[in-house]
Amino acid sequence: MMYEISKLETLNALDFAKELGELKVDEPFTFYANMKWVRPFGMLLAASAIKQFRNKYADIPFNVKLSNAGNSIDYAGHMGFFKSISEKIDIGKMPGEASGNDNYIPITELDLHQIHREEIENGHFIGMGDTIEKESSRLAKILSRSNKEIHALLTYLIREILRNIPEHSDSYKAWICGQYWSDGMAEIAIVDEGIGIKNSLQQNATHRKYIKTDEDALKCAIKAGISQAFQPEKVNKSDDPWANSGFGLYMASEICKELGGSFCLATGNKYINIHSDGKTRIGDTDFRGTAVKIAISTSEISNSQAIISKIAKHGEEQAKTIRNAFKKASLPSKGLITDL
């Protein structure tokens, strides 16, 4: 049996994951890589979907066949796409092997627990939040092209997504990939294979009453102040500066809109995609975990903190109208904690 991996742009990849989730196989299986165009989010989502498919049919042999080699195949291989599916696939580089430059972050696995442990072993006695911000700064620097404002904003966006993972996904591992395109658009994709947004929010009895489906969860996740950590009696008065306030995904999606970019969030059997023209689309997919795409036009960035402050203020106004939401953004959601 053969199944084609075609264009790995955002919507194509989401459709690919859905179709793969519906497939039933009982014989050796071949993935035919015939990609005409690939992007970071598409590669990460497709690779994770294929791994989940392989785990589902662990006893059935599979292989990968290439179409005639071309730029897209070569690019995907260089970025670590094929070997992120399986190290046994003898195509391209290992995840994280490509050196990266001011144009791209290759597909890289992040073990946040391990990164934090190494910080402590090196004598840096900092919390997980500070560790994630430090790692986000390192990753953002690759795409920032020595521009301080781009670096600050990309650090903020990466950090807000990464810190959701240990707090809400029941996982400390993630995959990241990024590309700075020739038109000045910077795209970052982050995927985890944790419990997903619906399961996370449903751990809170307050949210469980009205979040029944993945679509419910997605719509709530990009609203200001919606968090699994919400407790009406405690609000967000924690002494921990890293305490979650439910603003991370809201801030990321709104910053993308503000800067003429796009945003996508996928979990379970649904995704929400906000296009560069502001149109929002909700559709079907199949992904056990959470996948995020952030794309921003770097030419629109002049003062990163002003952008963050403006959107955080709007978010706090929105949160006042939502019953089961934190009303104030946490200190990290209002900007970077450390001086970069």
- Burial pattern 133-158, b for ≥16 Cβ within 10 A else e, equals bbbbbebbbbbbeeeebbbbbbbbbb
Secondary structure of residue 137 in the 3-state scheme: helix
At position 322, the amino acid (one-letter code) is I
At position 103, the amino acid (one-letter code) is N
- pTM of the complete model: 0.94
Tally of CB atoms within 10 A around 232: 8
For the chain, how big is the Rg over CA atoms in Å? 19
Residue 143 in tokens: 């795409």
* pLDDT computed for residue 229 by the predictor: 78
Question: Which one, of 335, 337, 329, lies nearest residue 223 by Cα?
Answer: 329
Residues 62, 32 contacting (CB under 8 angstroms): no
Predicted confidence pLDDT, tens digits, the chain (340 residues): 899 999 999 999 999 999 999 999 999 999 999 998 899 999 999 999 999 999 999 999 999 999 876 789 999 999 999 999 999 999 999 999 998 677 999 999 999 999 999 999 999 999 999 999 999 999 999 999 899 999 999 999 999 999 989 888 888 999 999 999 999 999 999 999 999 999 999 998 889 999 999 999 999 999 999 988 777 665 554 556 666 788 999 999 999 999 999 999 999 999 999 998 888 999 999 999 999 999 999 998 999 999 999 999 999 999 999 988 999 998 889 999 877 6
CA distance 43 to 80: 9
Residues 35, 72 contacting (CB under 8 angstroms): yes
* pLDDT computed for residue 240 by the predictor: 65
CA distance 340 to 337: 9
Residues 188, 157 contacting (CB under 8 angstroms): yes
Secondary structure of residue 35 in the 3-state scheme: coil
Q: Is 92 left (phi over 0), alpha (psi -120 to 50) or beta?
A: left
